[in-house]
Structure 1
Amino acid sequence: MSTVLGASPGERLRTLRELLGLTGAALSDMSGMSKSWISQVETKAREASEEGLRAVAESTGAPMSFFYASPSSIPRDSLHFRKLSSASRVVTKRVQAVYAESYRVSEDILREASYPAPPLPYATSDDLEPDDIEAFAETTREALRLAPDKAIPNLTRAMERAGIAVAPIVLTDPAGEEQSLTQNHFGLSYWGGIGETALVTYFPGSQGDRDRFTLAHELGHLVLHTFRPHAEDPEAEANRFAAALLVPRDRAATDITDRLSLTGYARLKATWGVSIQALIMRGHSIGNLTDSRKRSLFVQLTQRGWRKSEPVTVGQEFPILLWTLLERQYGAKPYVTAAERLAIPPTVLRSIAPMPRNAARGPGQSDAQGDVVQFRRPASHQRLQIAGAPGAVAR
């Protein structure tokens, strides 16, 4: 992927503010540089002095190399962004800056390691029918080396093995303290095309099924919209793809029937790692559920309080690819050393490539949850019987 050459320190200064969520006044207070100096440098009304940039770098933890790095040239209209219409513009702008820097850094990490580019299928036709999207989901399963008709134990790991970088986005302050997660943003993705880097990012939440659907949705954007950036309804297409990837049509046609109760849907959730609501929509999309049956099921969900808190807990997945490559290149404590080379604040790098929870186990020790997503029912739903459901874990 090409980069934009000749980015000025002023442009990078603005990017740093956006990356860290700082106003000009806040950065002025932190660095001791005046608000007018910051504004004039950003607008190129004056040259950025080495002394001023160093003051900013020291106060924010950014390496000096950040101000001279060439930014990613991701076209804004090609960046796929799953968010609610109520999402704050300020936060959205910050998230876009975080993604752009994440892509630049991920690209460098993957290329340094000579990691293979993803062999994804891709759509080029202007008009895609639902059956076409189903077919692309099937082909994507093949590309990810997944069984054609079984639940995906760990979608994150399958994507990473295929060369797709996955990174969580956790907004932090300059000290690295986690700030409130945005509840209106879900994921972003971009693929430069054949032979290029692909990066999917997501906002980790408390529900593993939501995160899995977000990853599948963003994967759908890579497959369906990299070469079709102006599709009429890309979000609906990506949703269809995600459902088809997670629950293949033949199995959905067999498992999701018009007679299935909510308890039956909970069992299916424990099998597939997909929310009850998404399973209902899946059954409706393939024609197994009538409009009236779908409405009835959603009314029942509301009556039981399951719209906001479904039974059956889907275990969370954690990316490891970027961390593994960083560790190989820079050692067991890579963030500070790698930050200078990759021209990124260490706190941001830590967010992009977090240390896996099992990193302290040492070489040769297995990660019991590395390849299997565990599903269980929370204590508040003990009356729900899901014993014997594949993937269910007794507690």
Structure 2
Amino acid sequence: MPTALEASPGERLRTLRDLLGLTGSDLAEMTGLSQSWISQVETNAREPSEDRLRLVAEATDTPLSFFFAKPSSVPLDSLRFRKMASASRTLTRRISTFYGESFRVTEEVTSEARYPSPPLPYATAQDLTEEDIEELAEQTRVALRLAPDKPIPHLTRALERAGVAVAPIVLPDPAGGGVTTNKHFGVSYWAGIGETALIAYFPGQQGDRDRFTLAHELGHLVLHSFRPRAADPEGEANRFAGALLFPRVRAALDITDRLTLEGYARLKANWGMSIQALVLRGAAVGNIGESRKKSLYVQISQRGWRKNEPVNVGQESPLLLWTLLSRLFGDKPYLPASERLAIQPAVLRSIAPQPQAMPTPSASKVTDVTNVVQFKRRGPSAAGEPSALAH
């Protein structure tokens, strides 16, 4: 029988099905095994032979070692999600499983590479004021070695440099390609000083939304790792994200009640935050009253900017996990790493994508500031990459 620190082959079989989005019928068809056998193994009513596990492994392109790997140290019921209330429970379960495996791999890779754990501040008091959250955001900027009053040029790289791993989530699709979702945005976990921290997110079409998701999940790490019963964790994480991305000292100067939407668009190009998030930030620092906030949102709706804002903020790409994999397993790391780390290769490719060649940075350019403001901007640059990621 497996110990408390181990998972049975049956539990790992269910984990594999969740990872790949396979039903029992799907797996039976792929392997020629019966659904009843799969069900009995998954409920630990039957002990699988190594030959049959090997059959499953070969059919799903999974290393046999996957079925004997120790489970993740993440308590999955403690995960913090940024998602809509209407998000599918089935998909949420898949994402939880995917995150657990991603965290297990991240722990092993960062430990073997001796990459430092993050020195993040953290809240312990049960009740936090808005002032407390602002101060924790300021302390987090210090921990990330960021200027106290400047835009963050590349939030992903700042997190990775400080020891917070960042991983995109692309769920394998049995029909081919990857599963995306517009109702889940991010998930994170950190056990505290000296421990692994991982923020996973669904990369979207808009860089500003991805940046806010990363900042929001970082807020969960700082605010809720030791406060699991916070009354409004999502609201607190949103407040933290705004404070991290646009520090109070600058927001109080730059966001005024006379600022037009064109002015907000310029701020978006500079700070990498959505116009809607900037309006909320102005309200949070007390510079925008409720009536002005409502007026701005009416204007945003009238222009069709609720779902499609102007100003293109370039998307950031993670680098840390790919860099560490390459150092440990060579310049083509996926196959040797998947066997050693006991992980399905498609999962490894998702959480540690091979970096693409980046275009040459170009200056921000205002093309129209009348009815619709459009900025040609590549987004926050990759300047200031840590030496551990630069080779």
CA apart distance, 1:349: 0.5
TM-score by length of 2: 0.92
Deviations, residues 130-162 of structure 1 (Å, cap 9, x unaligned) = 000000000000000000000000000000000
3-state DSSP of counterpart to 2:171: coil
TM-score by length of 1: 0.91
CA apart distance, 1:178: 2.2
5 Å-filtered alignment, 1:141-220, equals 141-173=141-173, 177-220=176-219
CA apart distance, 1:383: 5.3
CA apart distance, 1:192: 1.6
3-state DSSP of counterpart to 1:229: coil
Q: Does 1:384 align with 2:383?
A: no
Match of 1:291 in 2: 290
CA apart distance, 1:31: 1.1
3-state DSSP of counterpart to 1:313: coil
Separation in 2 of the partners of 1:84 and 1:10? 32
Q: Does 1:282 align with 2:281?
A: yes
CA contact (8 A) 2:313 2:380 kept: no
Separation in 2 of the partners of 1:148 and 1:303? 35
Structure 1 stretches of 4+ with a deviation exceeding 4 A read 372-383, 385-388
Separation in 2 of the partners of 1:171 and 1:33? 24
**Alpha carbons of 1:82 and 1:383: their partners in 2 closer, same or farther (altered >3 Å)?**
closer
CA contact (8 A) 2:217 2:237 kept: yes
Amino acid at match of 1:62: T
Deviations, residues 198-250 of structure 1 (Å, cap 9, x unaligned) = 00000000000000000000000000111111111100000000000000001
3-state DSSP of counterpart to 1:167: strand
CA apart distance, 1:6: 2.8
Q: Does 1:20 align with 2:36?
A: no
Deviations, residues 63-90 of structure 1 (Å, cap 9, x unaligned) = 0000000111322332111110111111
3-state DSSP of counterpart to 1:196: coil
Separation in 2 of the partners of 1:206 and 1:299? 24
CA apart distance, 1:381: 8.9
Identity %: 66
CA apart distance, 1:171: 1.1
Separation in 2 of the partners of 1:118 and 1:215? 15
Unaligned stretches of 5+ in structure 2? Answer: 382-391
Separation in 2 of the partners of 1:106 and 1:159? 14
CA contact (8 A) 1:31 1:59 kept: yes
5 Å-filtered alignment, 1:21-170, equals 21-170=21-170
CA apart distance, 1:287: 1.1
Match of 2:352 in 1: 353
Amino acid at match of 1:357: Q
Separation in 2 of the partners of 1:325 and 1:381? 47
Separation in 2 of the partners of 1:111 and 1:391? 30
CA contact (8 A) 2:310 2:374 kept: no
5 Å-filtered alignment, 1:296-335, equals 296-335=295-334
Amino acid at match of 2:89: R
CA apart distance, 1:355: 0.2
CA contact (8 A) 1:312 1:377 kept: no
CA apart distance, 1:114: 0.3
Over the aligned positions, Cα root-mean-square deviation in angstroms equals: 2.3
Separation in 1 of the partners of 2:351 and 2:376? 38
CA contact (8 A) 1:77 1:229 kept: no
Deviations, residues 304-344 of structure 1 (Å, cap 9, x unaligned) = 11111111000000000000000011111100100011000
Unaligned stretches of 5+ in structure 1? Answer: 359-366
**Alpha carbons of 1:70 and 1:299: their partners in 2 closer, same or farther (altered >3 Å)?**
same
**Alpha carbons of 1:373 and 1:87: their partners in 2 closer, same or farther (altered >3 Å)?**
farther
Match of 1:362 in 2: none
CA apart distance, 1:378: 8.8
CA apart distance, 1:17: 0.4
3-state DSSP of counterpart to 1:166: strand
Separation in 1 of the partners of 2:70 and 2:320? 24
Amino acid at match of 2:310: P
**Alpha carbons of 1:273 and 1:329: their partners in 2 closer, same or farther (altered >3 Å)?**
same
Separation in 1 of the partners of 2:362 and 2:230? 33
CA contact (8 A) 1:103 1:199 kept: yes
**Alpha carbons of 1:29 and 1:304: their partners in 2 closer, same or farther (altered >3 Å)?**
same
Separation in 1 of the partners of 2:343 and 2:219? 29
Separation in 1 of the partners of 2:73 and 2:370? 49
